[in-house]
Amino acid sequence: MKKLLLIPGMLLLVLAAKAQQDAMYTQYMFNTMAINPGYAGSRGTLSATALYRRQWIGVEGAPETQTVSLDMSTRDKKIGLGLQAFNDKIGITRSTGFYATYAYRINFRDDVSSLSVGLQGGFTNFKADFTKVDLIDQGNDPAL
């Protein structure tokens, strides 16, 4: 029985040790769901957003980000659902991901204010192409 509990416990530790690199959004006000999953469905209608960001034009390896998101609320406006896909390039690294979002909204008596709690899950594929790194001393280090 202890072995059966040990395996899921070890998996949780591995997940907790994972580092993250989030895409940078200069205009996050147009893509709030990327920062806060509780925002999904807050407009009360189907909402689609597409963003393209390119920083430091003319510099090789400059950051470049593409994002597409879609969110909506259910008829009773208590549940928000959303999807988000992104591609983020910085130098030799590239992150591509897809996330699904669920938000639950608690409306207060005045029907103007609400509290929203969100949950987001998905995957991110992180790649680094080390063959594109320019090395200063290419011939003298046998490790490289």
Question: How far is Cα 124 from Cα 25, in angstroms, rounded to an integer?
Answer: 17
Q: What's the domain count of the chain?
A: 1
Please indicate, yes or no, if residue 73 is contained in any of the structural domains.
yes
**Average pLDDT over the chain, rounded to whole?**
82
Question: How far is Cα 29 from Cα 27, in angstroms, rounded to an integer?
Answer: 5
Question: What is the H or E stretch that residue 114 is in?
Answer: strand 114-128
Please indicate, yes or no, if residue 12 is contained in any of the structural domains.
no
pLDDT for 19 equals: 54
Please indicate, yes or no, if residue 26 is contained in any of the structural domains.
no
Please indicate, yes or no, if residue 3 is contained in any of the structural domains.
no
Residues 83-110 have a mean pLDDT of 91
pLDDT for 17 equals: 46
Residue ranges making up the domain that contains 63: 39-132
Residues 12-36 have a mean pLDDT of 66
Cβ pair 92, 29 in contact under 8 A: no
Please indicate, yes or no, if residue 101 is contained in any of the structural domains.
yes
Please indicate, yes or no, if residue 109 is contained in any of the structural domains.
yes
Whole-model pTM: value is: 0.72
Confidence of residue 16 (pLDDT cuts 50, 70, 90): very low
Please indicate, yes or no, if residue 116 is contained in any of the structural domains.
yes
pLDDT for 32 equals: 84
Please indicate, yes or no, if residue 85 is contained in any of the structural domains.
yes
Question: How far is Cα 121 from Cα 99, in angstroms, rounded to an integer?
Answer: 5
